[in-house]
Structure 1
Amino acid sequence: MELSIIIPVYNVSKYLNSCLESITSNYLFDNKVEIILIDDGSTDGSGDICETWSEKYPYIRTIHKKNGGLSSARNKGIDVARGRFLSFIDSDDIVADNFINIILKILEEKRNLDILIFSYQRILDDNIEKKINYSTCELIAKKYAFELLISTRHDIEKISNTGNYAWNKIYSRNLFEKVRYPKNRNYEDIATTYRLLDNANEIYLTDSILYYYTDNPNSIVNDLKNTRNIKDLISARIEQLEFLKKSDYKEIYAKAYGQLVGICVQFMHKFYNFNLKYDENIKYVESTLMSLDISKLKKWNKFRWGIELYIFQKARFIFKIVRK
C-alpha cells in the first residue's frame, strides 16, 4: 500500500463529513490508499459518522479508542498504518479536490522522497475554490526546510507552505521508526516535526495549495484561558531551539530565539490584560522570560522584542502598565 491517511477524530460532528467528502473526491479505489479514522472517545456522535463512512468505502476503516488526546490518536494511526507514506489530516479541515490523486502522482514521480511539503490556505469564507492544477515539486536543501519550519511568512491571501504543522506534509513511514508524538501535550507538532526533518534525506516542496485550514474557535489551542497551552508551546519551542543550537543552522537558531522571546512577551501581556489566574504555567513563562538573554537577539529582533524583554526583567511595573 502506498499511502495511509490518518485522521484523529474527537467531537467534530460539525466538520467531519465535509473533511471526508473533500478527501474522497475524485478518487477511485485502487488498493493504494487507506484512510484511518481514529475515534478518540468522541461523545457527540462523531464515532457513528466514522462508522457510516467505513461502511460506504472499502478503503476507510475506523478505530475506536479511549480518549487520549491528539498525539495518542496520531500515534495509534502510525502503529496500525500499512502505507509506505503517511499523511495526517485534522478532522475539521478540508483538502483540495484530487488530493489523493495528486499525492499519488508525486510519490510515483519521486520514489526516494522522505518528506513532501505543500502549501495551505486558511479558510476565510465558504466560497473557497478547491480545484487546483498540480504544478511541480522540487528537491530542497534540508537547511531551507528548517527555514520554512520557523518562518512566519504569509502572503495577503493567507497562503503558505511554512510551519511545524503535521498536516501540510507527507512523510515516509520509515521516519517514524523511533519517533512518536509526545503524549499529553499540545503543540505536539513543534516537538516532533523538526526531528522528522532531521531524519529525512530527500525533502520536496510544492507551492500547490493542497490543504485548507479551518480556524476552529473551539479547538484546544485557541483557548486563551488554558494556560497549559502556553507552557506546552514554549517547552516545545525550547526543545526545538536546543536542537538548532547544536546544529549548523546558526541564523535559523537566531530567528527561533527571537520568536521564543516574542511568544513569551505577547503571552505575558495577555496574562495581565485578561487577568488570568496565576498558576504554575504562568510561573513557567515568567521564569523562561527571566532566563532569556537579550544579547542573543539579532539586530532585527532587538528593537522589537529586546526592549520589552529588558523592561520585563528590570522594571516589571512598567511592563504591567503597557497594555497591548
Structure 2
Amino acid sequence: MKLSIIIPVYNTAPFLKKCIESCIDQNISNNDYEIILINDGTTDNSHDICESYKNAYSNIHYLIQENSGQSVARNNGVDKAVGNYIWFVDSDDWVESNCLSSILNMCETNTLDILRIGFKKINDEYTDIAKTELEPKTLIIANNREILKTDFVFGPPLHIFRRAFLTDNRLSFYPNIFHEDNEFTPKALYYAKRIGITETIYYYYYTRMGSTTKSVNPKKCFDLLIVCHNLMVLSEEVEDDIKPYINNVISTSFNSLLSYSREIDPLSKVKLKRQIALNTDIFDHMKKSKKIKFKIEGLIFSLFPNNVLKIYELVKR
C-alpha cells in the first residue's frame, strides 16, 4: 500500500461527498491506496454517507470514535494506516483529480520525509480568493533548516508525510486542542531530513463560514497557550540558528490568541488574563524572535504582563 488518505469527519455532510469523490477520482489502482474515514462523533448524516462509500469501495475504511477532536481522529487514522505515505485531508476540502500518481512519484523517487504541495483557497461562492504565486512543475528539495527559516504553512493537508518518519519520531497531534497544526507542523519539519516542495496546486482549501477555524471559542485562546508552551520546549531543543524562527511561530500563535481574545466573553477574558500573567516566559521567546514586530511586542508585554489584553485591544482600536 503506497498511500493512506486520512479524513476526519465531523458534521460536514454538505461537503463530504465532494471530498470523498475527489479522493476516489484518481489515476492509481485502488490496491495502491486507501481512504480512512474517521467519524468524530458527527451528529448529522455524515455517518450514512461514510457507510455508503465504505460499502461501495474496497479501499475505503470507516472508523467511529466518540467526539474527541480532529487531533485524536488523525492519530487514530495513523494507527490504522498501512500506506507508505500519509495525506491528511479535511472533510470540507477536496483534492485535485488524478494527482496521486504525480505525488507518489515525487515522494518515492526522492525518498522524501515530507512533500509540501501547492493549494488554492476557495470561498462560499467557489471563487478563487487566494492562490500560490507560482505553479512550477519542478520539485525543489530542501532540508529542515531551509524550510524553518521561511514563513512556512502550518496545515497538515498541505503536506504528505512518510508514515515511518512519523512513527519513528513519535510525531502525533496534541489531543483535544484547537490549532494543533501550529504545534505539530514545526516539529515535523524540524525532524525531517528530506523535504520536497512543489507549488503545483493539488489541494483546495474551502474557507466556509461556520467552520471550526472561523468560529469564536474561548478554548482556542487557552489551547494556544498550550501550543506556545510546547513550542518553547522545541525552541530549547533546536540549534541556535533555528531558535529565532521557532520563536516566530510562538509569537504568531500568541498573536492568534490575542486576536481571538477580542471576541470572547468577559469572564473568559479575566481567566485568560490570569493565565497569560503566569506564562510570561512566552514574552522572552518573542523578544528573541526574528521579526521586529514580535520583538517589540515581547518587550512591551514583559513590562506590563497584567495588561496584555488591554494593550492589544488599544492597539487594534
Evaluate the alpha carbon distance shift between residue 285 and residue 39 of structure 1 in structure 2; reply closer, same or farther with a 3 A threshold. Answer: same
- Please say if 1:176 is aligned against 2:178: no
Whether the 8 Å contact between 1:261 and 1:309 is mirrored in structure 2 is no
Deviations 1:130-169 (A, max 9, x none): 9x98712121021022234xx2xxxxxxxxxx32221111
Whether the 8 Å contact between 2:218 and 2:260 is mirrored in structure 1 is no
Evaluate the alpha carbon distance shift between residue 38 and residue 217 of structure 1 in structure 2; reply closer, same or farther with a 3 A threshold. Answer: same
Structure-2 separation of matches of 1:199 and 1:258? 18
Whether the 8 Å contact between 2:274 and 2:306 is mirrored in structure 1 is no
**Which of 195, 207, 216 in structure 2 is aligned with 1:203?**
195
Structure-2 separation of matches of 1:266 and 1:31? 42
Equivalence for 1:159: none
Moved more, 6-15 or 304-313: 304-313
Evaluate the alpha carbon distance shift between residue 303 and residue 98 of structure 1 in structure 2; reply closer, same or farther with a 3 A threshold. Answer: same
Deviations 1:76-123 (A, max 9, x none): 11111111111100101111222322222223422x211111122221
Question: Which SS does the other structure have where 2:187 is aligned?
Answer: helix
Equivalence for 1:157: none
Aligned Cα root-mean-square deviation (Å) = 3.2
Moved more, 115-124 or 72-81: 115-124
- Shift, 1:171, TM fit: 0.9
Given residue 31 of structure 1, which amino acid in structure 2 is its aligned partner? N
Deviations 1:11-31 (A, max 9, x none): 110111111122222435341
Question: Which SS does the other structure have where 1:190 is aligned?
Answer: helix
Unaligned runs of 5+ in 1: 152-161
Unaligned runs of 5+ in 2: none
| 1:291-310 map, 5 Å | 292-293=283-284, 295-296=287-288, 300-301=292-293, 305=297, 309=301
Moved more, 24-33 or 163-172: 24-33
Structure-1 separation of matches of 2:31 and 2:9? 23
Moved more, 138-147 or 232-241: 232-241
- Shift, 1:127, TM fit: 4.1
Structure-2 separation of matches of 1:240 and 1:276? 28
Moved more, 181-190 or 85-94: 181-190
Equivalence for 1:139: 141
Structure-2 separation of matches of 1:31 and 1:134? 30
Equivalence for 2:207: 215
- Please say if 1:283 is aligned against 2:274: yes
Given residue 288 of structure 2, which amino acid in structure 1 is its aligned partner? K
Equivalence for 2:16: 16
- Please say if 1:236 is aligned against 2:235: no
- Shift, 1:182, TM fit: 1.8
- Shift, 1:245, TM fit: 3.5
Question: Which SS does the other structure have where 1:301 is aligned?
Answer: helix
**Which of 252, 257, 266 in structure 1 is aligned with 2:247?**
257
Structure-1 separation of matches of 2:309 and 2:175? 37
- Shift, 1:198, TM fit: 3.1
Whether the 8 Å contact between 2:149 and 2:245 is mirrored in structure 1 is no
* TM-score computed with the length of structure 2 as normaliser: 0.83
Equivalence for 1:119: 118
Whether the 8 Å contact between 1:120 and 1:213 is mirrored in structure 2 is yes
Question: Which SS does the other structure have where 2:177 is aligned?
Answer: coil
Whether the 8 Å contact between 1:265 and 1:308 is mirrored in structure 2 is no
* TM-score computed with the length of structure 1 as normaliser: 0.81
Equivalence for 1:247: 238
Structure-2 separation of matches of 1:186 and 1:244? 21
Whether the 8 Å contact between 1:273 and 1:323 is mirrored in structure 2 is no
The number of aligned residues is 308
Structure-1 separation of matches of 2:274 and 2:234? 24
Whether the 8 Å contact between 1:16 and 1:92 is mirrored in structure 2 is yes
